[in-house]
Amino acid sequence: MTYDFKKFEAVLKKWNLVLTEEQKNQFLTYYEMLVEKNKVMNLTSVTEFNEVVEKHFLDSISLWTIEDLSQRKKVLDLGTGAGFPGIPLKIMFPELEITLADSLNKRILFLQEVIDALKLQNISAIHGRAEEMAKQENFRESYDLCVSRAVANLSTLSEYCLPFVRIGGKFISYKSGEIEEEQKNAKNAVFLLGGKIEKIHKFELDGTELKRSFVVIDKVKKTPKLYPRKAGTPAKNPLS
């Protein structure tokens, strides 16, 4: 089966990015593996090629429009699920050193298969809960950037993600459209965790009707050792 990359390439061109033949093949292999695995495991509700390009690949890469990813950076994708945004970012920006983390081991095993099939270097897939991983010295406050497309409120996500970010680094949350209320409610929690909301970037994904927001949080001081709280607490009882 042949797939049309025209739309994918047109949007990337607007962002001053160009797909190499190798990258095209990597995205294609990833897509085919995703659809195949999705038959036996719930990874995504969208499986048609153009939709996956739009809602997963381009959406993941859109981070480039607000953040320079051309430099070597140590990046954590927390709650990566089927590998978004981490794997598209790694394919597009090979210099990035990426850790994919998820609490479901079945997903991690799938992502390891993808990493091997795509011959990706300097990327690891780790099975673990954020609450436990963030207490480990090799993970805590050791990343330049933490990203997450996970569905959770900003207070909860900040408690999961900010402990992994070094001072001077960033946590960037992928969100849909309206975010003002959520951001207002999370302001105190972010401060408590050593962060500061730098900016909210709202945009419509090129060539689509997808309304998206990036919440950029700077890490300005160390996260108190108390955080994240024990497993399940950040989600059940978000900081206010």
pLDDT at 149: 94
Question: What type of residue is 19?
Answer: L
- Cβ contact 149:124 at 8 Å: no
Q: What is the pLDDT of residue 240?
A: 87
To the nearest 5 percent, what fractions of the chain are helix, strand and coil?
Answer: 40, 20, 40
Q: 145-154 burial, b for 16+ CB within 10 Å, e for fewer?
A: bbbbbbebbb
User: What is the helix (H) or strand (E) element at residue 219, kind and residue range?
Assistant: strand 211-219
Q: Are 159 and 133 in contact (CB under 8 A)?
A: no
Query: Which residues in the chain show pLDDT less than 70?
Result: none
Beta strands of 132-204 (E only): which ranges? 143-148, 165-176, 195-204
Each as own residue / partner, the long-range contacts of residues 12-18 (CB below 8 Å, 24 or more positions apart, any chain) are: 12/58, 12/61, 14/206, 15/61, 15/62, 15/64, 15/65, 15/206, 17/61, 17/64, 17/92
pLDDT of 150: 87
Residue 31's pLDDT is what? 98
Residue 54 DSSP label:
I
Contact criterion met (CB below 8 Å) for 75 and 144: yes
pLDDT at 121: 97
Quick: pLDDT tens for 67-78. Answer: 999 989 999 999
- 228 token code pair: 């994240």
Residue 159: closest CA among 228, 57, 110: 228
User: What pLDDT sits at residue 108?
Assistant: 98
* pLDDT score, position 12: 96
Q: How much is the pTM?
A: 0.96
Geometric angle at alpha carbon 106, from 212 and 232, rounded to 5°? 65
| Helix, coil or strand: residue 35 | helix
Q: Are 61 and 89 in contact (CB under 8 A)?
A: yes
pLDDT of residue 205: 80
